[in-house]
């Protein structure tokens, strides 16, 4: 499946409204996962580059914050139109670096557009509360004001959508934003920044500073940045949260996931298998909402595993840009090796490999096909670790309560799904399950952007989820004003308390 190498492109940052090569000597490769070739080199932003972006943001932030929310929304609506018009080019950028099938890249773009559209309509959520006449000539009201400059750090799996969860809402709330996209898949964010400026965003309000962990540390340490939105793996999220809070910043840090889908004996097995296979293998399982554990309850387990394997083995693995591909490669060579080792460990630890997606070592692309391991239990590597690839673990349990206890004991709490025909079981599941995103007879979708999104336990550090009302709360702070404006006495008029003007003047 490999292809011939071409000269790597030289990528850039986006600072103060234009492409910028930065001042650092540090850089890293960007790969085409389908061939294993390096297709670009990416400069990693230095402390000075981050500082330049912060200064540009500070110059622009005051005017932007003072603009009416409707004026900011107009810029975002023009951006929405430009991004939708550029859908094919953006999707191709995503697929080239991330690996996912082109249709999945289009779907990612669509979800990102929905988040952007929600940000365009955020004005009502920015309104405060007004308490009239709480004392003599006194009103009390609250204002929501932007934080100033906010930074976002994003992962490699959805390189357009996850940044779109953040910066449109932050901008709509009146902030300036510095985005540090994943160093493995930077181009979609750069192209989007270009389009946002073409839509009329004043320079400096959105910068893209590329880099790795070291660049993130510069963002955390910069005193001009008020808050950090982070999405990535749990160890990184936990560290960014702790260091960001210690630096006096507001932080929301969304971490990893191990999403379980529970299938009760009364479920429509065929529909459940369709959903779970799509959720396990779409984007090669590299989605925070991917289902990585199927929990088969009771006597249906054999039939259900057969249904899963039947569907999974019919998926076409191939280059993301090739027509007909269902499952593209995983994004990095390191991820391919980790998945191969985890499958090997699963077998060694007693799981049954009923579908093996491993490729021959001679394959240069980062391919791992749909894999199913049956008889998995907590304590096995394939259960305990977030594998973030097309490997589905099947755990067999005897009862609904045992399935819930399994999910409860798992350190992650991003999402969980239930498949059943029993409404009472569904209601009990949604009430009792300890995760942030619940799915009933669908497999763990990201909720539409009017709702907030984020996990519980080790899947989210911080108090507020991303987008929706929580997102607005995160990107704004509240100011409460108590104001007295005594009525000015005018000749011939009664004062507010009914006394004559003369009485008022002598008070």
Residues known to be catalytic:
288
Residue 113: exposure state from Cβ atoms within 10 A (0-12, 13-18, ≥19): buried
Cα atoms in the 13 Å half-sphere on the side-chain side of 416: 26
Residue 319: C-alpha distances to residues 36, 105, 142, 278 (Å): 11, 13, 53, 18
Q: Least distance in Å: CB of 292 to ligand NAD? A: 10
Q: With DSSP H G I counted as helix, E B as strand and the rest as coil, what are the percentages for the chain, rounded to 5?
A: 40, 20, 35
Q: Is 116 within 8 Å of 76 (Cβ atoms)?
A: yes
Span from 90-98, 114-122, 188-196, 233-241 in contact with ligand NAD (CB under 6 A): 233-241
Q: Least distance in Å: CB of 92 to ligand NAD? A: 21
Instruction: Kindly state whether residue 157 participates in binding ligand NAD, applying the rule CB under 6 A.
Output: yes
| DSSP H or E run through 144 | strand 138-146
User: What are the backbone dihedrals phi and psi of residue 93, each rounded to the nearest 5 degrees, phi first?
Assistant: -60, -45
User: Which runs of E-coded beta strand occur in 375-463?
Assistant: 391-397, 412-413, 415-419, 437-440, 456-457, 460-461
- State which residue, 230 or 400, has the beta carbon closest to ligand NAD: 230
Span from 109-117, 140-148, 228-236, 499-507 in contact with ligand NAD (CB under 6 A): 228-236
Instruction: Kindly state whether residue 164 participates in binding ligand NAD, applying the rule CB under 6 A.
Output: no
Span from 74-82, 149-157, 308-316, 495-503 in contact with ligand NAD (CB under 6 A): 149-157
CA distance 253 to 116: 20
DSSP β-ladder status, 291-297 and 259-263? parallel
- State which residue, 36 or 152, has the beta carbon closest to ligand NAD: 152
CA distance 95 to 10: 18
Q: Which of residues 385-414 bind ligand NAD (CB under 6 A)?
A: 386, 388, 414
Q: Which residue is nearest to ligand NAD (CB)?
A: 232
Instruction: Kindly state whether residue 459 participates in binding ligand NAD, applying the rule CB under 6 A.
Output: yes
**Burial 147-179, CB ≥16 within 10 A → b, else e:** bbbbbbbbbbbbbbbbbbbbbbbbbbbbbbbbb
Nearest CA to 209 among 87, 59, 51, 69?
51
Q: Tokens for 403? A: 């399935």
| DSSP H or E run through 125 | helix 123-126
Span from 70-78, 130-138, 234-242, 244-252 in contact with ligand NAD (CB under 6 A): 234-242
Q: Tokens for 34? A: 């389908």
Query: How many residues bind ligand NAD, per CB under 6 A?
Result: 28
Binding mask 407-446 for ligand NAD (x = CB under 6 A): -------x--------------------------------
- State which residue, 212 or 356, has the beta carbon closest to ligand NAD: 212
Q: Least distance in Å: CB of 376 to ligand NAD? A: 19
Instruction: Kindly state whether residue 47 participates in binding ligand NAD, applying the rule CB under 6 A.
Output: no
Q: Tokens for 158? A: 């959805």
- State which residue, 256 or 365, has the beta carbon closest to ligand NAD: 256
- State which residue, 263 or 460, has the beta carbon closest to ligand NAD: 460
Span from 155-163, 364-372, 425-433, 485-493 in contact with ligand NAD (CB under 6 A): 155-163
- Out of 31, 156, 281, 304, name the contact with ligand NAD by CB under 6 A: 156
User: What are the backbone dihedrals phi and psi of residue 57, each rounded to the nearest 5 degrees, phi first?
Assistant: -65, -45
Beta partners for 20? 13
- State which residue, 259 or 420, has the beta carbon closest to ligand NAD: 259
Q: Is 413 within 8 Å of 456 (Cβ atoms)?
A: yes
Q: Which of residues 237-296 bind ligand NAD (CB under 6 A)?
A: 239-240, 254-257, 288
| DSSP H or E run through 81 | helix 69-85
- Out of 47, 103, 212, 422, name the contact with ligand NAD by CB under 6 A: 212
Span from 73-81, 116-124, 156-164, 316-324 in contact with ligand NAD (CB under 6 A): 156-164
Instruction: Kindly state whether residue 327 participates in binding ligand NAD, applying the rule CB under 6 A.
Output: no
Instruction: Kindly state whether residue 232 participates in binding ligand NAD, applying the rule CB under 6 A.
Output: yes
- Out of 27, 46, 154, 381, name the contact with ligand NAD by CB under 6 A: 154
Instruction: Kindly state whether residue 233 participates in binding ligand NAD, applying the rule CB under 6 A.
Output: yes
- Out of 13, 72, 180, 319, name the contact with ligand NAD by CB under 6 A: 180
Q: Is 271 within 8 Å of 250 (Cβ atoms)?
A: no
Residues that bind ligand NAD (CB under 6 A): 153-157, 162, 180, 182-183, 212-213, 216, 231-233, 236, 239-240, 254-257, 288, 386, 388, 414, 455, 459
């Amino acid at each position: 499946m490999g292809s011939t190498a071409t000269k790597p492109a030289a990528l850039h940052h986006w600072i103060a409204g234009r492409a910028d090569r930065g001042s650092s000597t540090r850089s890293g490769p960007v790969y085409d996962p389908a061939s294993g070739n390096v297709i670009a080199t990416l400069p990693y932003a230095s402390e000075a580059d981050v500082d330049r972006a912060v200064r540009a943001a500070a110059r622009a932030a005051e005017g932007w914050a003072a603009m009416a929310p409707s004026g900011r929304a107009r810029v975002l609506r023009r951006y929405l139109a430009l991004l939708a018009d550029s859908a094919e080019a953006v999707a191709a950028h995503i697929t080239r670096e991330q690996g996912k099938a082109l249709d999945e890249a289009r779907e990612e773009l669509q979800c990102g557009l929905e988040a952007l559209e929600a940000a365009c309509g955020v004005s009502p959520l920015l309104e405060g509360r007004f308490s009239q006449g709480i004392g003599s000539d006194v009103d009390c009201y609250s204002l929501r004001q932007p934080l100033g400059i906010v930074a976002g750090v994003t992962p490699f799996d959805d390189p357009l959508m996850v940044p779109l969860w953040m910066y449109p809402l932050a901008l709509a709330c009146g902030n300036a934003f510095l985005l540090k996209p994943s160093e493995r898949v930077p181009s979609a964010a750069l192209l989007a920044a270009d389009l946002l400026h073409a839509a009329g965003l004043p320079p400096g309000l959105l910068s893209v500073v590329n880099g790795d962990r070291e660049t993130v540390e510069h963002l955390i340490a910069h005193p001009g940045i008020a808050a950090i939105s982070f999405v990535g793996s749990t160890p990184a999220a936990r560290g960014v949260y702790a260091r960001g809070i210690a630096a006096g910043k507001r932080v929301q840090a969304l971490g990893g996931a191990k999403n379980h889908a529970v299938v009760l004996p009364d479920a429509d097995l065929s529909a459940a298998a369709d959903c779970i296979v799509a959720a396990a293998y779409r984007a090669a399982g590299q989605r925070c909402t991917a289902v990585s554990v199927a929990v088969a309850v009771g006597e249906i387990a054999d039939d259900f595993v057969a249904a899963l394997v039947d569907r999974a083995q019919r998926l076409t693995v191939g280059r993301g840009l090739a027509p007909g591909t269902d499952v593209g490669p995983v994004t990095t060579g390191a991820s391919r090796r980790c998945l191969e080792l985890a499958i090997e460990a699963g077998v060694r630890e007693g799981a049954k490999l009923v579908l093996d997606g491993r490729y021959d070592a001679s394959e240069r692309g980062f391919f791992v096909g749909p894999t199913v391991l049956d008889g998995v239990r907590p304590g096995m590597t394939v259960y305990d670790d977030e594998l973030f690839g097309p490997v589905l673990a099947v755990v067999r349990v005897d009862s609904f309560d045992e399935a819930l206890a399994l999910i409860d004991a798992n350190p992650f709490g991003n999402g969980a799904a239930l498949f059943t025909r029993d409404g009472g079981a569904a209601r009990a599941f949604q009430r009792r399950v300890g995760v942030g995103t619940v799915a009933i007879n669908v497999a763990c979708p990201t909720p539409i952007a009017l709702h907030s999104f984020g996990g519980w336990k080790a899947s989210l550090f911080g108090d507020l989820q991303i987008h929706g009302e929580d997102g607005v709360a995160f990107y704004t702070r509240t100011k409460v004003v108590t104001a007295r404006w005594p009525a000015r006495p005018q000749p011939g008029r009664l004062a507010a308390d009914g006394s004559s003007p003369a009485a008022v003047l002598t008070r």
